[in-house]
Structure 1
Amino acid sequence: MTRILHVLDHSLPLHSGYTFRTRAILTAQKAMGLDVRGITGLRHSADGPRVEEVDGLTFHRTPGNAEGPAGLKEWREIGALADAIVALAEEWRPDILHAHSPALDGLAAVRAGKKLGIPVVYEIRAFWEDAAVGNLTSTEGSLKYRLTRQLENMAVSGADHVMTICEGLKSDLVSRGVLPDKIGIMPNGVDLTMFGEPAPRDDALADALGLGSGPVIGFIGSFYDYEGLDDLIAAMPMLIERHPDARLLMVGGGPMADELKAQAEASPVADAICFTGRVPHSEVERYYALTDIMTYPRKKSRLTDLVTPLKPLEAMAQMKLVAASDVGGHRELITHGETGVLFAPDDPANCANALADLLDARGEWDGYRERGRAHVRDNHDWHRNAQRYQVVYQSLLGDPGNSQRSNAA
């Protein structure tokens, strides 16, 4: 049985889009007959044992901590994770190291892979220098930005094969000089076995939140600046002009939460905007069930043009209507007028009109829902798409040079 060791920034039991994608990958690979484990670096912040089983998956932790000035600290993190990979490999003997961004994980896997003589796959879920700009913790072109980008280039260069989650990231790597044949795509996906019939609307919860009986526009996720939620709040007065009984449901939290709440409180339609705060993951379907349209008004930036989000796919799997800004990452997931609607980014008026038009087109809702669910089933089902990894693994293990390296390990 082929053994794959996934090298990770953090994992379950922490909850994030990153850990849910990891869970979906490992679960699908187990179902395919692969023997999989994960190992996390020093940035996994949850307390727990050195070896932890969560949801039937095994994760190993890297001990210790890294100190020092910026640059040296990260290099020490890479070294600690590489040493932990080598130590685990002496016991468990993986056939392939499959590292997932950020670049610190990729570089640790490359270092360990060379020492062990086994191939390395490096998977990029986002360029972390662009994510830092989107999170307002860095600026494009800064020293930190350029250093992070250089680490990414080093990880890509050292890996035997690279995976990205979308065409936007692949195209950017090709523009940097990476050979297209070295790059595969594993799109964001949904584990459809987790989605049966959509949950029924909980009228008691709707009443408790003051949503009334009119249409509900929803956002469920993290409140980052690049999500454009300020534009969504700014769109509400214009939407209310056409649909006075419409409501906005905001589920989640994050760095922009306080600013967004203040903006909503100052809105002339403040009573139509509801914030729930963060809710347990097990409760999320109850909140999806309250919504008619899930809205993703991401601002236009390198991050949103290059990276495809997961949330619109989850909404389609939940049989929800989807409206999203017309940025590159959304265009890879949503076909305007077929599986959802797209509106101009950074434009509250256009957002409001798109939402109002969709509310007016109630007779078309079932078609949107059915086409959206079919799109996820045909193109973004983890249990189907995980076969793409198998092709990459077999090509690496089938190469005579890599086979000798694997046997030597």
Structure 2
Amino acid sequence: MTKLRPNEGKLDPLSGRVLHIVGKAFPKTESGYTLRTHYTARALQDVGFEVSVVSQVGENPERDQLRSETLENVTYYTLVGSSRSNRSYHDWLDENIEQVREVVVRARPALLHAHSDFFNAITAQAVGNHFGIPVIYESRGFWEESWLSRISERYGIEDWTEIERQWGLPDAYTLRRAREIEARRRSAHVITLAHVMKGHIAQFGYPSSHISIVPNAVSTESFPVLSDGIEELRRVFKIPGQSITIGYISSVVEYEGIDTLIRAFYDLKERTFEEVRLVVVGDGPHLPVIKALNAQLGNGGVVFTGRVPHEEILRYYGLIDIFVVPRRPSPVCDLVTPLKPFEAFSTGRAVVMSDVGALKEIAQDSGAAALFTAGDKDSLSDVLLGLIENEDQRAVLRRAGAEWVRAERTWASNAKRYSAVYSSFGVLPITSML
């Protein structure tokens, strides 16, 4: 393992400089995870911090030397070497730690801000201890729960209680959970995205007083309120101008519940005289299964766009009248908040969400979303039918969501939350020290 020893590194850190340590980064990888990092870094720059980001060894295996590039005033460091899937974890982690140490020498941060998963926390803690720099850890999700959800889907396991009683939970789950708990325990402070996530972290012994919530948010400039549909896209996808379009935008994975949405859509078509369409925007490993289900149920009125670049997503929100987040009843969905509902709110879509814990928290905070019973296609069909038949209610939801995110869920407001955490470690915006 790493040869770095605590408090032996020589460094003259500059207050106001923060290094974010992540798994993947924008623009090489475009996802909710990398966009949150980038928007956060930009917002922190705007309030006076100097921010840089370093991603793991192996994200850009074609690179032959440690290098940096600047994107919208944020410095991104790219490390050298192959991913951990191609070598032993010990060797990979040693190299990751050593190269992040080099980045710290260059960037001279006063604080290390690690983000999920625990490999980033381990790296940050080794380097932070070496130089005497505080480390905070941002738990953005519980990846062990995501893994268990995929296994449950693959093998048709609805309840692990009896399996756990007889055999225990899989090692891949328990070991990852243990490493995440340890990573949080070794951090000076923990940040997470929602109250339900904070409660989950606290139940494993981390003190609530050392957990801060910095929720998912949206760039309202990038996602303005849209008043009219996008006629060009309607023509491309043969969506009649008078139809009401129900939409989903995100990754196509098992726990998102897109199967429930498709079943509810075909039920809805039988119950309404309105012209309705369903648009599924995104790609993922579950897409073939979803397309097969659609063909089985009717194969009419559903559009699959495939993956759409982030810079074009706004146009697709313009297609949608009612935006649905149909997540299934599962631990990962109960715990982890997605990013896309905030974009939908910001663009003035009427939003419908399943009543899993994390989404229910968003609905309660915003007062701007209709809920249905998770996994229940009849419940979703009922909610959609009610909104289709009540244009005034759709308008109420549209206004409430757009107003709420602008008041409560912007990256600029998040920067103030981060700044409060950073200042508790004596790390202040550079502009405040001039």
**What TM-score do you get using the length of structure 1 for normalisation?**
0.92
Q: Please state if 1:15 is matched with 2:30.
A: yes
- Counterparts in 2 of 1:137-286, with a 5 A limit? 141-198=169-226, 200-212=228-240, 213-244=242-273, 245-268=275-298, 270-286=299-315
> Are 1:202 and 1:290, in contact at CA under 8 Å, matched by a contact in 2?
yes
Q: 1:214 to 1:66 in 2, by over 3 A?
A: closer
In 2, Cα distance between the equivalents of 1:226 and 1:68?
24
Q: Please state if 1:306 is matched with 2:321.
A: no
2:75 counterpart letter in structure 1: T
> Are 2:366 and 2:404, in contact at CA under 8 Å, matched by a contact in 1?
no
1:59 counterpart letter in structure 2: Y
2:104 counterpart letter in structure 1: A
1:199 positional shift: 6.5
In 1, Cα distance between the equivalents of 2:90 and 2:181?
15
- Counterparts in 2 of 1:309-388, with a 5 A limit? 309-335=338-364, 338-388=367-417
Q: Please state if 1:44 is matched with 2:59.
A: yes
1:335 positional shift: 3.2
> Are 2:218 and 2:346, in contact at CA under 8 Å, matched by a contact in 1?
yes
1:373 positional shift: 1.2
1:361 positional shift: 1.3
Q: RMSD of the TM alignment (CA)? A: 2.2
Q: 1:377 to 1:86 in 2, by over 3 A?
A: same
- Within the candidate set 44, 48, 54, 2:71 is matched to 54
1:293 positional shift: 0.3
Aligned partner of 2:431 in structure 1 is none
Identity %: 32
In 2, Cα distance between the equivalents of 1:233 and 1:218?
11
2:282 counterpart letter in structure 1: G
Q: 1:83 to 1:337 in 2, by over 3 A?
A: closer
In 1, Cα distance between the equivalents of 2:330 and 2:272?
31
* Deviations, residues 81-127 of structure 1 (Å, cap 9, x unaligned): 22122112222211000000001001110111100101001000001
Q: 1:350 to 1:45 in 2, by over 3 A?
A: farther
1:208 counterpart letter in structure 2: V
In 2, Cα distance between the equivalents of 1:197 and 1:172?
34
SS of residue in 2 equivalent to 1:97: strand
1:7 positional shift: 0.2
Q: Please state if 1:31 is matched with 2:46.
A: yes
In 2, Cα distance between the equivalents of 1:91 and 1:62?
13
Aligned partner of 2:133 in structure 1 is 118
1:220 counterpart letter in structure 2: I
* Deviations, residues 118-148 of structure 1 (Å, cap 9, x unaligned): 1001000001111222344999721111111
* Deviations, residues 369-405 of structure 1 (Å, cap 9, x unaligned): 111112112221110121111111111127xxxxxxx
In 1, Cα distance between the equivalents of 2:58 and 2:44?
25
* Deviations, residues 343-387 of structure 1 (Å, cap 9, x unaligned): 001111111111111111111222211111121122211101211
Q: Which moves more between the two structures, 299-308 or 47-56?
A: 47-56
Q: Which moves more between the two structures, 325-334 or 377-386?
A: 377-386
1:221 positional shift: 1.0
Aligned partner of 1:105 in structure 2 is 120
In 1, Cα distance between the equivalents of 2:247 and 2:85?
43
1:266 counterpart letter in structure 2: Q
In 2, Cα distance between the equivalents of 1:174 and 1:164?
11
* Deviations, residues 170-228 of structure 1 (Å, cap 9, x unaligned): 11111111111111111011122223342742223212212212100000110010000
SS of residue in 2 equivalent to 1:2: strand
SS of residue in 2 equivalent to 1:333: helix
Q: 1:229 to 1:94 in 2, by over 3 A?
A: same
SS of residue in 2 equivalent to 1:260: helix
In 2, Cα distance between the equivalents of 1:206 and 1:46?
40
1:243 positional shift: 2.3
Aligned partner of 2:110 in structure 1 is 95
Q: Which moves more between the two structures, 125-134 or 322-331?
A: 125-134
Q: 1:66 to 1:16 in 2, by over 3 A?
A: closer
> Are 2:225 and 2:402, in contact at CA under 8 Å, matched by a contact in 1?
no
